[in-house]
Amino acid sequence: MVGAPTPRHPLGKALSHGIGLRLLVLIVLFSTLVTAISTVIQLYLDYRRDVGAIEGRLDEIERSSLASLAGSLWHVDVDQLRRQVEGLIRLPDMQAVEVREAEGAARPLVVAVRLREGGPVLARDLPLVYNDRGTERLIGHLHAEATLTGVYSRLIETAVVILVSQGIKTFLVSLFTLYIVYRLVARHLVDIAGYAQRFDIKDPAPPLALRRRHPGRPDELDQVVSAFNAMRMDLQSAWEQLRTANAELEDDIVRREAHEREMRRLVDRLTRTNAELERFATISSHDLQEPLRAITSYAQLIEKRYGDHLDDEGREFLGYMTGGALRMKALVNDLATYARIPGHFEPPRPVELGAVCAGVLAGMKDAIEAADAEIVVGTLPVVEGDPERLAHLFRNLLDNAIKFRHQDVAPRVSVTAEPDPGGGWVVSVADNGIGIGATNQDVFEIFRRLHPASAYPGTGVGLAICRRIVEHMGGRIWLDSRPGQGTTIRFTVGVPPEAAAE
């Protein structure tokens, strides 16, 4: 026995045709476009990072290995050359290293190691120069070659992971959005249309009522239902009047024609009302086809039209969305600089702190002269870091040292550095300013101010930015201060990862 076909769920009908399918397609298309753009940007940043790392290794070979290779080649120490070349080839992404004696020798010495052939590469040809008792001699060349195959493989893996995860998320969010629209609007429009189709003036049905919780305040759907039921009552009343008039005044043609005209008027009214209902459904359907432009506007639209129909948890979530968006708008300007710091770091590279500090002082020349400040910079080391962020760090610290000064004493600031027992360096910026009294407050906390803005203007973000820069480079920052005698702020830089973790 063949069973009757299983009726389809209304949500399944919404997915197969009508506004539901079009809404789903538009959301998926828009989300796909955003995912594609963000994926391309991410892949580009990853590519720049990986290629920068490879170029950094080639730069490191140029800085640290040329002298030792030249010495081994000058003394024709083939075994030592081979060990050095094999050590270089073990660096990540290296595929070929060759040391070749300069042209002119009877049998030029060549020591080379090649792991693979082909594929895109980054290569460097570097001269090997030996200092022979004060005379520099070109004795050979170093050819170093790094493959980009690993970079491209990692990019492909990243792209696959991003696209698959974003695709799944987009699909689930689209289905959830479609379900919400169906629950709040679409299914009620279908009920209203079905009621209108089944309406029979000769056999009036109960008043139209939607299958939903009664909202605290009437919304657009309640207005449609009220108008439809009012029309139904008017029509039923007119029909009863006509039946009574026909029964009582069968012989009165004039009155019967009057009732017929009334009947036609009421029918026209019904027709117009039905037309208005259809137009309302068409306009609503058209509006629902438009994709949501942004999270804030979408949350506000839901709260305005359908907020009273959500349960407590739904209203709480909607409040989180709206409140979070408004708070973000209010905070973004104040926190922009603070928040951009992690994403704008360059890969660590050797930086001369003395040159960085000199550049900062040149930019602060007017402020230094205006305060009659004396700034003494000691011998500063070469460290690993981002020169732009280190300059930002020095600028904030020197600006604070000049700003928080005694009114009748010219600022005196010293910048020094000493080795850190844990590795790297400890840099100190000391001043003779007003100092900081004993406090339980974290002076490096964002928006933390210990002095009134009227006396010492500022945003309260400077030291927070300093700590964010230092900690992002793997270091730490702290201060020593005595009221009236000045403040010394110290930070570590060039700290090895294991020392920074401690």
State pLDDT tens for residues 425-444. 999 999 988 887 767 677 77
The pLDDT of residue 358 is 93
Q: 3-class SS at 129?
A: strand
Among 172, 207, 234, identify where a domain stops: 172
Do 90 and 185 share a structural domain?
Answer: no
Among 172, 204, 227, identify where a domain stops: 172
Do 161 and 72 share a structural domain?
Answer: yes
End-to-end CA distance of the chain: 76
Structure tokens that stand for 319 in this block: 């409040």
Measure the CA–CA gap between 423 and 80, rounded to whole angstroms.
30
Do 476 and 385 share a structural domain?
Answer: yes
Which residues in the chain come in under a pLDDT of 50?
A: 1-4, 274-275, 277-293, 327, 329-334, 453-455, 496, 498-499
Do 197 and 115 share a structural domain?
Answer: no
The pLDDT of residue 454 is 46
**H or E element that contains 493:** strand 486-493
Residue 148 is assigned to a structural domain of this protein: yes
**CATH code where residue 436 lies:** 3.30.565.10
The pLDDT of residue 426 is 93
Do 493 and 443 share a structural domain?
Answer: yes
Measure the CA–CA gap between 186 and 172, rounded to whole angstroms.
19
Residue 393 near residue 466 (C-beta atoms within 8 A): yes
Do 153 and 187 share a structural domain?
Answer: no
Task: Name the residue with tokens 């083939």.
Answer: 78
Do 165 and 78 share a structural domain?
Answer: yes
Do 352 and 262 share a structural domain?
Answer: no
Residue 131 is assigned to a structural domain of this protein: yes
Residue 439 is assigned to a structural domain of this protein: yes
The pLDDT of residue 112 is 83
| Alpha-helix residue ranges (DSSP H) falling in 199-311 | 220-248, 253-289, 295-306
Q: Which residues are CB-neighbours of 417 under 8 A, at least 6 positions away?
A: 353, 378, 379, 380, 381, 425, 426, 427, 428
Do 284 and 164 share a structural domain?
Answer: no
Do 302 and 274 share a structural domain?
Answer: yes
The pLDDT of residue 293 is 44
Is beta strand 382-385 parallel, antiparallel or unpaired with respect to 425-431?
A: unpaired
Structure tokens that stand for 271 in this block: 């027709």
Number of domains in the chain: 3
- Full domain range(s) for residue 216: 174-318
Do 283 and 307 share a structural domain?
Answer: yes
Residue 335 is assigned to a structural domain of this protein: no
**Phi-psi domain of 293 (left: phi exceeds 0; alpha: psi -120 through 50; beta: other):** alpha
Do 457 and 398 share a structural domain?
Answer: yes
Measure the CA–CA gap between 55 and 465, rounded to whole angstroms.
29
Residue 187 is assigned to a structural domain of this protein: yes
- The number of residues making up the chain comes to 502
